[in-house]
C-alpha cells in the first residue's frame, strides 16, 4: 500500500467514524418514516376506531370549528382523504392547537397542544435533526455532503489498492470487502442523491419562498371569512383532478392566497378576494416542491418507499461492513493474523 493510499484510507476511516452516529440515526428513522402514514394514523385521535366513508364538506367542518373555537384563527384544515382517518384543524392565536374531528359527524375527537407530542412526532423531528435545533439540521446537511466525500475517497482507495490488496491484507474477509466496495461503488450515487434531497428538505420552506413562492394577492374590500374561503376551496377543488384534496391552507396575511394541497403533492392557489384561480402546480412543476416526493420515494408509486427502505438497509450494512473493514485493517489485527 502506497503512502498516498494510506492517507486516503485514514481519511476515509476518520470521516466515516465522525459521520457514523448521525448517519445511523438518519437512516433508521428514514426507513421507519417510509411508512409515516401507517404509523401516524394507526391510533386515535389521528385514526378512527371504525372507518367512515361519509364525509362532511369543508364548509361544514369550518362551521363546527368556529362554533367551538370562535376566538382562534384557523390556519390549516386537513381533510380525511381515507376512510380510516380523522379530519383535523390547525389553529393559531391566541394559542396553537390541533383539533381532531370525526369526518362524518363533525364531533370533536380530541385536541393537542404543541407540548403534547408522541413518539411519531419525535421520529419525524429526529430524522432531519430538528430535535437538536439549527445545529441538528446543519449536521444532517453536512452528513449528506460527507457521504459524497466518502464515496470519492472510496473510489480513489479502490483504484490504488486493486493490484496489491491481497498481498497487503491476507487475513481480511473478502466477502466483507466485496460487499462494502460493491455497495459504495454501485449505490454511492443513489445514497448521495437520497441524502442530498433530505438535506435540501431541511430548508424547503426557504427554498420555496426564494425560488417558487406562492402568488401574491392584492386585497380589495374586507378580508374574506374562513367559511367563505372554505366554500371557495370546495368550488375550485375539482379543477385539479389527479388526486383528492388533502388540506386547505388559509391566508395568514391579506396578501396570501388560499392554498389547496392535494394527496399527490399538487397545489392550487386561489385569490380569496376575487374568487379566482391564480396558479396550479403539478407535483414536479418545480424542483423545490418536488423534494419530498423524490426523497420519500413516492414519485415512483406504491413501491417507492420500499425502494428507499432497501437503500437504507444497504446503507446500514455498508456502515457495518465499513466498521469491520476498518477494524481488521488495524496493524495489531494484521500482526495477529500473520502470526496465525
Chain position carrying cell 435540501 = 200
Q: What is the pLDDT of residue 178?
A: 78
pTM metric for this prediction: 0.85
Chain position carrying cell 476498518 = 326
Q: Within the chain, which residue ranges are assigned CATH 3.10.450?
A: 49-122
Q: φ, ψ for residue 29 (rounded to 5)? A: -65, -35
Mean of per-residue pLDDT scores for the chain? 88
Q: What is the pLDDT of residue 333?
A: 44
Chain position carrying cell 389553529 = 91
Pick left, alpha or beta for residue 79 (phi over 0 → left; psi -120 to 50 → alpha; otherwise beta). Answer: beta
Cell numbers for 236:
375550485
- Kindly report, residue by residue over 15-56, the tens digit of the pLDDT: 988 898 999 999 999 999 999 999 999 999 999 999 999 999
- Kindly report, residue by residue over 20-30, the tens digit of the pLDDT: 899 999 999 99
- For domain 49-122, the CATH class is alpha beta
CA 323 – CA 110 distance, rounded (Å): 47
Cell numbers for 172:
481480511
- Kindly report, residue by residue over 196-242, the tens digit of the pLDDT: 999 999 889 999 999 999 999 999 999 999 999 999 999 999 999 88
Q: What is the pLDDT of residue 332?
A: 47
CA 3 – CA 69 distance, rounded (Å): 71
Please list, in sequence order, all residues whose beta carbon lies within 8 angstroms of the beta carbon of residue 334, skipping any fewer than 6 positions away.
169, 171, 328
CA 261 – CA 214 distance, rounded (Å): 12
Cell numbers for 51:
372507518
CA 247 – CA 244 distance, rounded (Å): 9
Average pLDDT score over residue span 272-293: 92
Q: In the chain, at which residue ranges do the beta strands (DSSP E only) sit?
A: 74-78, 87-91, 97-101, 108-112, 245-249, 258-262, 267-271, 276-281
- Kindly report, residue by residue over 165-205, the tens digit of the pLDDT: 444 444 445 577 778 888 888 888 999 999 999 999 988 99
Question: pLDDT tier at 330 (50, 70, 90 boundaries)?
Answer: low
Question: pLDDT tier at 12 (50, 70, 90 boundaries)?
Answer: confident
Average pLDDT score over residue span 118-147: 91
Q: How many helices (H) and strands (E) does the chain have?
A: 12, 8
| More reliable by pLDDT, 230 or 301 | 230
**3-class secondary structure, 74:** strand
CA 93 – CA 127 distance, rounded (Å): 28
Q: What is the pLDDT of residue 174?
A: 59
For the chain, state the CA radius of gyration: 25
Mode of pairing for the β-strands spanning 276-281 and 108-112: unpaired
Mode of pairing for the β-strands spanning 276-281 and 258-262: unpaired
Amino acid at each position: 500500500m502506497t503512502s498516498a493510499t494510506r492517507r486516503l484510507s485514514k481519511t476515509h476511516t476518520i470521516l466515516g467514524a465522525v459521520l457514523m452516529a448521525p448517519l445511523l440515526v438518519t437512516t433508521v428513522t428514514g426507513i421507519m418514516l417510509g411508512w409515516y402514514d401507517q404509523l401516524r394514523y394507526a391510533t386515535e385521535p389521528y385514526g378512527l376506531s371504525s372507518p367512515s366513508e361519509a364525509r362532511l364538506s369543508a364548509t361544514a367542518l369550518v362551521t363546527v370549528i368556529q362554533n367551538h373555537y370562535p376566538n382562534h384563527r384557523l390556519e390549516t384544515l386537513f381533510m380525511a382523504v381515507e376512510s380510516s382517518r380523522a379530519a383535523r384543524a390547525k389553529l393559531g392565536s391566541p394559542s396553537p392547537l390541533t383539533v381532531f374531528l370525526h369526518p362524518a359527524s363533525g364531533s370533536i375527537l380530541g385536541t393537542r397542544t404543541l407540548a403534547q407530542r408522541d413518539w411519531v412526532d419525535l421520529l419525524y423531528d429526529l430524522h432531519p435533526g430538528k430535535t437538536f435545533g439549527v445545529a441538528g439540521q446543519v449536521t444532517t446537511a453536512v452528513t449528506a455532503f460527507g457521504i459524497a466525500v466518502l464515496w470519492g475517497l472510496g473510489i480513489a482507495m479502490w483504484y490504488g489498492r486493486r493490484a496489491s490488496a491481497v498481498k497487503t491484507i491476507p487475513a481480511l474477509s473478502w466477502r466483507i470487502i466485496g460487499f462494502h466496495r460493491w455497495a459504495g461503488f454501485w449505490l454511492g450515487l443513489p445514497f448521495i442523491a437520497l441524502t442530498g434531497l433530505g438535506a435540501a428538505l431541511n430548508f424547503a420552506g426557504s427554498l420555496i419562498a426564494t425560488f417558487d413562492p406562492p402568488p401574491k394577492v392584492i386585497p380589495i374590500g374586507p378580508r374574506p371569512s374562513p367559511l367563505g374561503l372554505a366554500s371557495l376551496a370546495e368550488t375550485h377543488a375539482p379543477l385539479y383532478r389527479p388526486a383528492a384534496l388533502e388540506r386547505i391552507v388559509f391566508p395568514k396575511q391579506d396578501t396570501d392566497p388560499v392554498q389547496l394541497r392535494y394527496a399527490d403533492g399538487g397545489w392550487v392557489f386561489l385569490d380569496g378576494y376575487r374568487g379566482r384561480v391564480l396558479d396550479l402546480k403539478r407535483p414536479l412543476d418545480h424542483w423545490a416542491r418536488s423534494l419530498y416526493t423524490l426523497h420519500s420515494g413516492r414519485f415512483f408509486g406504491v413501491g417507492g418507499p420500499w425502494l428507499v427502505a432497501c437503500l437504507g438497509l444497504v446503507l446500514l450494512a455498508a456502515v457495518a461492513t465499513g466498521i469491520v473493514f476498518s477494524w481488521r485493517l488495524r496493524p495489531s489485527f494484521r500482526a495477529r493474523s500473520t502470526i496465525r
